[in-house]
A and B are shown apart, each in its own frame.
Chain A
Amino acid sequence: MHELGVIIEVVKTVEDFAIKNNITKIDTLVLQIGELSAMIPRYVEACYPAAVDGTMLQDTKLKIEILPGNALCRKCNKVFNIIENKGICPNCNIKDYELLCGREFKIKEIIAC
């Protein structure tokens, strides 16, 4: 479980952002996590209360949006979901792709009061 360390980093970034933009109260933090990133949404949610404890984000809500892990087949140019297809192009049955998205881990937005 390495999520805690990473979420502490997220909290720091959001606090910096809030200070710079004169935001004093945050209601919700919205994160975007790619299906292929090494962050597991369930664990992120589990460690969130510990990471925000004693920070400006204490008592805020966490919302996670999942981004799909998509690939482009190098042979036929079909776009397909890596997890659903186990990395194999459903068109030509080969595993030779370029990663398009899915490794993201982003702070999308905050909802401030």
Chain B
Amino acid sequence: MNTYKIIEIKQSVFENNDKQAELLREKLKKDKTFLLNLMSSPGSGKTTTVLRTIEALKDELNIGVLEADIDSDVDASAVSKTGAKVIQLHTGGMCHLDAEMTRQGIEGLGTEELDLVILENVGNLVCPAEFDTGACKNAMILSVPEGDDKPLKYPLMFSIVDVLLINKIDAMGIFDFDIEAVKERAKKLNPNIKVIPISAKTGQGIKEWTDWLRNEVKNWNEN
């Protein structure tokens, strides 16, 4: 008969990733580079929002972008036209990015000269919320056509982000979208969440968003 030995590990599955995320944040602090993790479902306007953000801040900040997708480089090619440094990461079927993949992307970009790196995470409201990428701040986009019930359906995502951008507000008239209900639902999950309604298409609200971002970059890179 075999003798079996039980060996306790008692380790959270995310512990390994959390450690790598901390290491990445330390490196970013040293390099004076601010990493923003931007999450949302597919089609919410992440890339358009990134383009708007670059346009608003490119004269004052050196910006890099990490585009994470399961496949293709359509987003990276759109972003590269702005002149920002961009790297396309393929997750190869994985539905989220972890800290190690993010680190590889950051290394590929080379952060020494960059003030701000925007990580456009895989379009998904579930798994990216579970993994710390090593970002300094987390933001998410909820677009009007997706509906105001999303904080109820994907509570974890809404509870871990620092900023919620409500995009496509120019289309509010067409959809039954209760923006006050979203704010209330999101704040119940996350009292400190900052909610900024925007339209990446018309540019509405982009100033408030980029003011917030500029301020965060400044705080990170100075202290």
Contacts and interface: CB of A to CB of B under 8 A. Distances in A.
Contacts of B98: 9
Given A2-B127, A38-B156, A109 B95 contact: no
A14 B7 CA distance: 11
A13 B127 contact: no
B149 to A, nearest CB: 16
Interface string B67-91: 0000000000000000000000000
Interface in B10-25: 10-17
Contact of A106 (B12, B16, B95): B12
A2 B127 CA distance: 7
Nearest to A28: B4
A6 interface: yes
A6, A23, A111, A112, most chain B CB atoms within 10 A: A6
**Chain A interface mostly helix, strand, loop or mixed?**
mixed
A110 B95 contact: no
A27 B6 CA distance: 10
A75 interface: no
A108 interface: yes
B16 A5 contact: no
Nearest to A8: B94
A93 interface: no
A45 interface: no
A106 B8 contact: no
A112 B8 CA distance: 10
Given A2-B96, A2-B127, A106-B12, A21 B4 contact: no
A5 B127 contact: yes
Interface residues of B, number: 25
Nearest to A33: B13
Contact of A110 (B3, B7, B13, B124): B7
B208 interface: no
Interface residues of A, number: 25
A108 B94 contact: no
A39 B32 CA distance: 36
Given A38-B127, A38-B156, A105-B14, A110 B9 contact: yes
B100 to A, nearest CB: 9
B130 interface: yes
A67 interface: no
Interface string A5-32: 1100110111011000101000100010
B4 A14 contact: no
A113 interface: yes
B4 A113 contact: yes
Contact of B12 (A27, A105, A109, A112): A105
A9 B96 contact: no
Interface of B: 2-17, 94-96, 98, 124, 126-127, 130, 156
11 contacts: A5-B96, A5-B127, A6-B13, A13-B13, A13-B15, A13-B16, A16-B16, A27-B2, A106-B13, A110-B7, A111-B6
